[in-house]
C-alpha cells in the first residue's frame, strides 16, 4: 500500500536537510523500491528504516555515508515515532534488563551465533571491538596495536594476575599471557566463545570461565574489560564498578574499553536493540563518572571513535568478500541485516553520534601510573 502524500513529503524534506535525495544519483542517495517506505519511516523512525532495508524496500550504494548525513543533520530528532518505537525505552526504565538471567539473552541471540559468521570478517586475533589504526591501514596490524596499547596502559608486569571481563574468543587474554608473562582469568557467558577461547588459549596461563562479573571473588593486579560494558545497563553500573574496586589490588589498574553516547540514556538504538544487541545500552560520560565516584581515580580518558568507523568499514569489506562461505546457512534478509548493522554503525561513529572510549582507572591513594603510551 503506497504511503500517504504527507509522509512522503515529510521524508523528502528531512532527507533534503541532510543533502540526501530520493532516487538521486550520488552514492549516499537512496533508491526507493517500495513506496510504503515513507509511512514506515514516519511511524517507526530508524527502526522502520532498518527493517525496510532488510525487506528490500530501498537500496543505497553507501549506507555508511547515508547514515552519516542523516545523523549529522539530526534528522533522527525530527520525528517522534509511534508506541512500538518507544516501548524499549519504557521497558528499560521500568525493569533491570541486564540481570544475571536477562544478560544471557545477548549471548544466546548474538555471541552464540556460528563462529564462522564472525570469523569471516574479524582479524587474526578475533577482536570484535575497535581497532587502533595508528600508522597502518591493515586490520590485523591495527587490532594488534590495540592489544599492545591496552597492555601498555595497564603497565603489565611479568607475574601479574589479570582479570579479563568479557573475554570474547580469547584474543586479548592469549596476547597478554604470551607477550607479557602474566596469568589471566578470562570470564564470559557465551558458550560458543568460551569453548573456542579455551582451545585458543591452550598451553598459556589462561583460565577461561563461564562466570558472571557479579560472582567474581579473587583479587587481581590488573582488570580489563573490552566491549562488554555496553551490556551491563545503567541500573548495574554501580555494582559493576564496586565489584572491580573490591577485587582490584590497592596498587592495581583497571582499563575499560567501551562504546559511549554523547548524552545519558537508558537504552540503545531501537533497531540495534531488536536485531543485534538485545538489552544493550551505551553509557555516557556522566553515567560512568557517577558510578566510579568515590571508588576510582580516572587516570586517562582516550576517545578512539574515528578508529571504530575504520574498523567497521574493514569488517564490512571482509564480510562481503567472504559471504560465499556463509551462503546457504543464512538468507538474504540476514545478510542485509548484518551489512546494515556494520555500515550504519560506521556512519554513526563518523557523525560523532557515538564514541569509543578507553578509560584507565586506579584506586584512590595509588601513586599515579607513568602512562607510557
Mean pLDDT of 350-371: 91
pLDDT at 3: 66
Mean pLDDT of the chain: 91
Cα separation of 167 and 226, whole Å?
A: 7
User: Does residue 91 lie in a domain region?
Assistant: no
DSSP assignment, residue 110?
I
Verify that 205 and 287 share a domain, yes or no: yes
Mean pLDDT of 298-316: 97
Q: Give the containing element (helix H, strand E) for 252.
A: strand 248-261
pLDDT at 124: 97
- Residue range 163-176, pLDDT digits in tens: 999 999 999 999 99
Verify that 64 and 148 share a domain, yes or no: no
Mean pLDDT of 236-264: 97
User: Does residue 89 lie in a domain region?
Assistant: no
- Residue range 195-209, pLDDT digits in tens: 999 999 999 999 999
Domain boundary residue, one of 81, 112, 133 = 81
Task: Identify whether the C-beta of residue 231 lies closer than 8 Å to the C-beta of residue 109.
Answer: no
Verify that 76 and 108 share a domain, yes or no: no
Cα separation of 258 and 304, whole Å?
A: 10
User: Does residue 242 lie in a domain region?
Assistant: yes
Verify that 71 and 117 share a domain, yes or no: no
User: Does residue 373 lie in a domain region?
Assistant: no
| The pLDDT of residue 369 is above 50 | yes
User: Does residue 18 lie in a domain region?
Assistant: yes
pLDDT at 9: 92
Q: Which residue has the higher pLDDT, 210 or 91?
A: 210
Tally of domains in the chain:
2
User: Does residue 52 lie in a domain region?
Assistant: yes
DSSP assignment, residue 275?
H
∠ CA 110-165-266, nearest 5°, is 60
Active-site choice (60, 345, 364, 371): 345
Backbone angles phi, psi at 356, to 5 degrees: -125, 120
User: Does residue 86 lie in a domain region?
Assistant: no
Segments forming the whole domain that contains residue 246: 104-363
Burial (0-12, 13-18, 19+ Cβ within 10 Å), 299: middle
CA 340 vs CA 39, 55, 111: distances in Å: 20, 12, 18
Domain boundary residue, one of 46, 81, 116 = 81
Concerning whether 345 is annotated as a catalytic residue, the answer is yes
Verify that 61 and 15 share a domain, yes or no: yes
For residue 99, the SS3 value is coil
Verify that 40 and 176 share a domain, yes or no: no
User: Does residue 87 lie in a domain region?
Assistant: no
DSSP assignment, residue 58?
E
Verify that 298 and 223 share a domain, yes or no: yes
Domain boundary residue, one of 43, 66, 81 = 81
The model carries a pTM of: 0.92
pLDDT at 93: 46
DSSP assignment, residue 248?
E
pLDDT at 327: 82
Task: Identify whether the C-beta of residue 305 lies closer than 8 Å to the C-beta of residue 352.
Answer: yes
* Domain at 218, CATH number: 3.40.50.150
Query: Given pLDDT bands bounded at 50, 70 and 90, which one contains residue 92?
Result: very low
Amino acid at each position: 500500500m503506497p504511503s500517504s502524500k504527507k509522509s512522503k513529503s515529510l521524508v523528502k524534506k528531512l532527507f533534503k536537510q541532510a543533502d540526501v535525495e530520493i532516487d538521486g544519483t550520488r552514492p549516499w542517495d537512496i533508491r526507493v523500491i517500495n513506496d510504503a517506505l515513507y509511512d514506515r519511516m514516519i511511524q517507526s523512525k530508524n527502526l522502520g528504516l532498518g527493517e525496510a532495508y532488510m525487506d528490500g524496500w530501498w537500496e543505497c550504494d553507501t549506507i555508511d555515508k547515508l547514515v552519516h548525513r542523516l545523523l549529522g543533520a539530526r534528522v533522527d530528532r525530527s520525528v517522534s515515532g509511534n508506541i512500538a518505537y518507544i516501548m524499549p525505552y519504557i521497558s528499560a526504565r521500568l525493569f533491570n534488563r541486564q540481570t544475571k538471567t536477562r544478560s544471557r539473552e545477548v549471548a544466546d541471540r548474538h555471541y552464540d551465533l556460528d563462529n564462522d559468521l564472525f570469523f569471516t570478517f574479524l582479524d587474526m586475533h578475533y577482536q570484535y571491538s575497535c581497532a587502533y589504526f595508528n600508522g597502518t591501514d591493515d586490520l590485523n596490524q591495527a587490532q594488534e596495536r590495540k592489544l599492545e596499547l591496552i597492555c601498555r596502559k595497564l603497565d603489565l608486569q611479568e607475574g601479574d594476575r589479570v582479570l579479563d571481563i568479557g573475554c570474547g574468543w580469547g584474543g586479548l587474554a592469549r596476547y597478554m599471557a604470551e607477550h607479557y608473562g602474566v596469568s589471566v582469568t578470562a570470564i564470559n557467558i557465551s558458550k560458543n566463545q568460551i569453548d573456542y577461547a579455551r582451545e585458543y588459549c591452550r598451553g598459556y596461563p589462561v583460565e577461561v570461565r563461564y562466570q558472571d562479573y557479579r560472582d567474581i571473588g579473587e583479587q587481581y593486579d590488573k582488570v580489563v574489560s573490552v566491549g562488554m560494558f555496553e551490556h551491563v545497563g545503567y541500573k548495574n553500573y554501580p555494582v559493576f564498578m564496586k565489584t572491580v574496586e573490591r577485587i582490584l589490588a590497592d596498587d592495581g589498574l583497571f582499563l575499560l574499553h567501551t562504546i559511549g553516547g554523547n548524552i545519558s540514556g537508558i537504552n540503545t538504538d531501537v533497531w540495534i536493540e531488536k536485531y543485534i544487541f538485545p538489552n544493550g545500552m551505551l553509557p555516557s560520560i556522566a553515567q560512568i563518572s557517577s558510578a566510579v565516584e568515590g571508588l576510582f581515580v580516572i587516570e586517562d580518558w582516550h576517545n578512539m571513535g574515528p578508529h571504530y568507523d575504520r574498523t567497521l568499514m574493514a569488517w564490512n569489506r571482509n564480510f562481503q568478500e567472504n559471504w560465499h562461505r556463509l551462503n546457504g546457512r543464512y538468507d538474504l534478509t540476514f545478510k542485509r541485516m548484518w551489512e546494515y548493522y556494520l555500515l550504519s554503525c560506521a556512519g554513526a561513529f563518523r557523525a560523532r553520534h557515538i564514541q569509543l572510549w578507553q578509560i584507565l582507572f586506579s584506586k584512590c591513594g595509588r601513586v599515579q601510573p607513568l602512562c607510557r603510551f
